[in-house]
Amino acid sequence: MAIFSRLPKHLASIARRCIILLAFLIVSACTSTDTQAPAPPTMQSGFTACESTRPEMCTREYRPVCGHIDTGVRCVTAPCPSERHNTYGNACSACADENVIGYEIGDCASYGK
């Protein structure tokens, strides 16, 4: 390199090594060591979302769930409840309701809803 030709030999050698080290540091700083994508956040712990295909028939077993029903209300200026809760006999009957977005195991009273 022409830049180092004016320097004494030992300084030119040190300068070349510094440039190589700097280039290595820049390249290594640009690489990512994170190989796993972060897990998507869940709405709530214990919350299970209903699938897009809704069940047409359900068994009559009683395993109560607290269904989260989308009210369709969306407020812009102030917070307002965008969902209400209803206890269903089981997960299948909860998700059979098209307005239910998901459920939690147990009746709504156990969650204070």
pLDDT tens-digit series, residues 40-82: 444 446 899 999 999 999 999 999 999 999 888 888 877 788 8
pTM above 0.85, yes or no: no
Residue 64: how many other CB atoms lie within 10 Å: 18
Residue pair 90/105 in contact by the 8 Å Cβ criterion: no
Tally of helices (H runs) and strands (E runs) in the chain: 2, 4
pLDDT tens-digit series, residues 77-102: 777 888 899 999 999 999 999 999 99
Return d(Cα 86, Cα 71) in angstroms, integer. Answer: 12
Could you tell me what percentage of the chain is helix, strand and coil, using 3-state DSSP and rounding each to the nearest 5? 30, 20, 50
